Each structure stands twice: as C-alpha cells, then as structure tokens.
Amino acid sequence: MNYYSLNHKAANTNFKDAVIKGLAPDKGLYFPESITPLPKSFWNNIDNLSNSEIAFETIKQFVSPEIPDSILKTIVEETLSFDFPVVKLNHNISTLELFHGPTMAFKDVGARFMARCLGYFNKDNTNEVTVLVATSGDTGGAVANGFLDVKGVNVVILYPSGKVSDIQEKQLTTLGKNITALEVNGTFDDCQAMVKTAFLDDALTSKMQLTSANSINVARWLPQLFYFIFAYKQLHKQFNDIVFSVPSGNFGNICAGMMAQQLGLPINHFIASNNDNNVVTRYLISQLYEPKKSVQTISNAMDVGAPSNFIRIEEIYKNNFENLKNNLTSYSFNDAETRDALFEIYNDFKYVADPHGAVGYLGCKVYLKDHPEAHCVFLETAHPTKFLDVVEDVIKEKQPLPTQIQAVMGKEKVSMLIETYDELKSFLLS
C-alpha cells in the first residue's frame, strides 16, 4: 500500500516511510491510495473469527508488503491482549468499553500497534528515532507505555500544564528510561503546534529522525478501526441499525470508524459528540470550518480547537459536504450537561462512566429522539478512575483504583517545564 499527502505536493510513499515520517514533507497527513472493501464472506463469517483474526484481515492491505503476514499476526496478537466488551444499558443504548488495556484508555490500541511496527522497522537500524507527540490527556500515557524500552526509539511527550488529570500526568511522567515528558505552559493546541513546527524545521530534521505518535501517524490512526468491528460482532445479531457515538477531539477515532465502514462494516451512521470545543458541530450547521483556540473542560482529552484528522474525514467523503452530512451528525455539550449525564448513567443504569463517555451518551440520547429504531453505542474511551475528582464528586461514591492505576500513583513525577518552541528545539538538539 502506498500513501499520498492530503496537501498533494509531496511524493507518494509506502507504509514504512509514512510511519517513520509521520507527516509528509509538504506538511500534509498521509492517506492510503486505495481502500478495498472486504468480501461479504468476511462479514458473514465474523462470528467465527477471533479479534486477532479480524484485526489481521482488516489491516493487512494497509501495511503490505512492508510487514510480512507472519510478523503482522504477531503484532496484532500482542496489541490486542485485552478485552473490548460491549455493555448493554437498555434496548437503545450500549457502551463499548475501550479501557481494559495497560493505560486504561482507547489509545492503547493505536500506541501498541505503532510501537510494534516501528520496532520492526527499526530492528536492524543503528540510527535512533525520536517519537515526538502532543497529548491532551490519554495519548501521552498510551504512547509512553507502548514505546517503553523499544529498541532505538526515544519518546518526547508534550502536555499542557495543569490541563490533564493527576492520573493521566502520572502515566506519562513516571516511566523514565526512553520516555521524557515536557510540560508546556499553554494548551493542547500549543503543544500540537510545537510538534508540527518541529517536523518542518530543517535544523532539526537534518540532525535527527523525528516521527509522531499522534493520530496524524497512520500506524496510530488506522488500528482504531478494529474495535468498531469488534462491537459490531457482539451486536449485529440483536440489532439491525447500529450507530456509534464517538467522543471526539482530534477526530482520529471517529475517522478510523469511518474507515471500517469503507471496508464494508454494515453500519449506517456516526455521531461526533463534542464538548465546548465544537468546531465540527458548528461546521455541520454552517458549512464554515473555523478552528478556534481550545477551552478547558472536564472531558479534557477532547479539548482540541483544530482537529487534525478532520481533513481525512473530508477525503473519505471526497470533500462532498452533503455526503458527509448524510453519514455524520455532531452535537456539543457543556460541562454541566456532562455532569448531569454522569449522574444519570449511574442513577439509571448503575454504570460508572467517565466524562468523555458521558458526552458520547448525551450524543446517543439526542440522536435517538429522531431515530428511535436505532441502537446507539457510545464509546467509553477511558476508565472513570482516571477522572476521580469529577466522577466521585458527581456520583458521591468512592471508586476503587484498578491495578493499572495503582501501579503509577506512588511514583514520582519527572517533567521539564517549557514555554516556547525554541526551548523544545534546544532540548531536542541537546
């Protein structure tokens, strides 16, 4: 599979180079040259396939021939070493739990897959690769865990000071070894802007190999399509009209779900559930795409004012607004509504959600008003104990810490505070 830049000013490249470069030389995101739908026999036989078999069949066209089938099978088996259960709340609403991995967030899948791909590509390389990544919360911990001790790879994580939860911060600042955390005095958008600037800085790229582990990287983005298919497998015998409500920040996750649909996943619609950072919600009403400076909310992983992956969504729909709008609905909810939803989910269903899942739940509720025949699945993207201060304050119930969280709580935070791109550049060059 070859990949082209969505800015259309750089040469096409293969999967290996797209992963290592992260961004194309013309600043564009990479996109696969073709998408071949899976045969009907795959979907008809899906109940007889394991998660690893599903993942192998759905991803192999995007990574071949750079990764041999035998290696790819090992990569997906190691990536998917945990469960992806669907929990039914009532006849119309279920949740897909994506927090059973090592850092208890949905980004474990993409981070683990990318780390193993990069480790394979770098196994005989004497040159080090520096993974540079910005995080609004969960990406940092997932990338840190996924790349810990990977040969020939150094990881530098930028995160906005005071704008991630305590547990999220612990997960990205306590591992040491080949992982470094840079605490930025600013927003996630400031962190992301620094990362993008670094990729375009010849003074840096001429001296070191930089790559990104944000969802702009194809190896981080594409594997997220797996769990949409896992959810379909668990629900398709019970429900004909399955809709996904995806808490959306940088829009990589929902974009991956749309790629699953392009492969033939028989679902009809997606809901992008936003917090107050609602550029896409506004776009689908006005047809004006106007990124804005992000604002801080209790669903912090979605605090993104300029979602990078939306351009990929536009590419999927050939930049046809009506086609996009027929397949995507978007709603926006504020913190007060999110807190009310957390309480409602706990009170009505005895289920403890996190703030991001609560936003997804609200998207389901609004959509179902006009589509009562649908079964709506909201993605529970992180374990609720990663947001203890919010969750316990709302439901008034003490929550036990899972083993994965307990493992980092007693560790010492190690980070370096920076304010400008020049400080980042000096650190990298040193």
228, 260 Cβ separation under 8 angstroms: yes
Task: Give me the phi and psi of 86, to 5 degrees please.
Answer: -100, 130
pLDDT (average), residues 331-347: 98
User: What pLDDT does 366 receive?
Assistant: 98
> pLDDT averaged over the chain?
94
Tokens of 74: 């090992």
Evaluate if residue 308 carries a pLDDT over 80.
Answer: yes
CA 317 to chain centre: 20
Q: With bands split at pLDDT 50, 70 and 90, how would you rate the model's confidence at 228?
A: very high
Evaluate if residue 112 carries a pLDDT over 80.
Answer: yes
Tell the CATH topology of 84-106+224-400: Rossmann fold (3.40.50)
The one-character DSSP state at 353 is -
Evaluate if residue 36 carries a pLDDT over 90.
Answer: yes
pLDDT (average), residues 316-324: 96
Q: What is the pLDDT of residues 255-301, one digit of tens each?
A: 999 999 999 999 989 999 999 999 999 999 999 999 998 899 999 88
User: What pLDDT does 12 receive?
Assistant: 98
User: What pLDDT does 268 receive?
Assistant: 86
Q: Which residues are bridge partners to 184 per DSSP?
A: 160, 418
Q: With bands split at pLDDT 50, 70 and 90, how would you rate the model's confidence at 126?
A: confident
Tokens of 315: 């590419």
Which residue among 21, 107, 163, 170 is the active-site one? 107
Q: Which residues are bridge partners to 328 per DSSP?
A: 270
User: What pLDDT does 128 receive?
Assistant: 86
Domain boundary assignment for the chain: 84-106+224-400
User: What pLDDT does 244 receive?
Assistant: 98
> Is 21 one of the annotated active-site residues of the chain?
no
User: What pLDDT does 136 receive?
Assistant: 80
User: What pLDDT does 200 receive?
Assistant: 85
Higher pLDDT, 360 or 205: 360
Q: What is the pLDDT of residues 353-370, one digit of tens each?
A: 999 999 999 999 999 999
Rounded distance between C-alpha atoms, residue 162 and residue 185, angstroms? 9
Q: With bands split at pLDDT 50, 70 and 90, how would you rate the model's confidence at 247?
A: very high
User: What pLDDT does 398 receive?
Assistant: 94
Tokens of 306: 């300029």
Rounded distance between C-alpha atoms, residue 166 and residue 184, angstroms? 15
pTM equals 0.91
